[in-house]
């Protein structure tokens, strides 16, 4: 690494990159919790996007919490989304550092671009569970929006079959990618040469979180479907 530093200035050590990604969100979450205790709670204003999602998705509109299993899964999905959201701050700092080094000191880095696109890739994979929890995944809703609420829930239950086929295929493929990468000690082909197996490990973790979020949604959909049927029979 010292030879690289002579030609390219500061090169972030691999251990520091992975360690910072693991610790930094925890620091930010602790700081945010501390700040929130110092300030008075603000009135809860409904997000227009959340209102639109609630209009389309009966599960969100009826606020079904499910059982202990779904609550644990939903809490995990929520916290994982918050955790990785703070990673975005790193990318802003990384590219600011790159611009300063490149245009003020004529010393472009060899690691900023790679560190950033790997980070975004891991974010994309790990955010799937959070998006599932909040109904934020893209869906084709031409027919869906024409159905009554119970019909929408029933369609969600039916289409969950295709979701689980995809999610299980993603998990199986990610497991193979991760084990192969770990066994061979795979690194990236760029000059920085950081370990690649943690990225593929995030693929596997993201697939597992997505599977669990889908399971939680299916359980809550079934509970809501049954409850609507009981109310309709009264």
Q: Where are the domains of the chain?
A: 53-233
Label residues 128-167 b or e (16+ Cβ within 10 Å = b): bbbbbbbbbeeeeeeeeeeeeebebbbebeeebeebeeeb
Give tens-digit pLDDT for 211-233: 999 999 999 999 999 988 877 65
Residue by residue, pLDDT tens for the chain (234 residues) are 544 455 567 899 999 999 999 999 999 999 988 888 777 655 555 555 555 565 667 787 777 888 999 999 999 999 999 999 999 999 999 999 999 999 998 888 999 999 999 999 999 999 999 999 988 888 777 888 888 889 999 999 999 999 999 999 999 999 999 999 999 999 998 889 999 999 999 999 999 999 999 999 999 999 999 988 877 655
What would the two tokens of residue 53 be? 């999602």
What would the two tokens of residue 137 be? 């995944």
């Amino acid at each position: 690494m010292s030879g690289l530093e002579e030609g390219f200035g500061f090169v972030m050590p691999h251990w520091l990159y992975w360690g910072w990604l693991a610790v930094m969100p925890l620091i930010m979450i602790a700081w945010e919790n501390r700040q929130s205790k110092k300030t008075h709670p603000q009135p809860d204003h409904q997000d227009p996007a959340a209102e639109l999602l609630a209009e389309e998705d009966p599960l969100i509109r009826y606020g079904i919490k499910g059982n202990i299993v779904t609550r644990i899964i939903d809490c995990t999905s929520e916290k994982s989304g918050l955790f990785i959201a703070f990673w975005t701050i790193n990318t802003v700092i990384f590219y600011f550092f790159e611009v300063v080094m490149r245009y003020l000191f004529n010393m472009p880095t060899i690691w900023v671009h790679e560190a950033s696109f790997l980070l975004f890739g891991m974010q994309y994979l790990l955010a799937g569970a959070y998006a599932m929890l909040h109904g934020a995944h893209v869906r084709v809703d031409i027919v869906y929006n024409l159905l009554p609420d119970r019909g929408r829930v029933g369609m969600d239950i039916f289409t969950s079959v295709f979701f689980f086929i995809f999610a299980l295929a993603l998990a199986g493929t990610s497991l193979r990618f991760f084990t192969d990468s770990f066994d061979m000690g795979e690194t990236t082909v760029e000059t920085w040469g950081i370990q690649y197996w943690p990225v593929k490990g995030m693929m596997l973790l993201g697939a597992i979180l997505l599977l669990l979020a889908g399971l939680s949604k299916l359980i809550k959909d079934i509970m809501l479907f049954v409850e609507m049927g009981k109310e309709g029979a009264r």
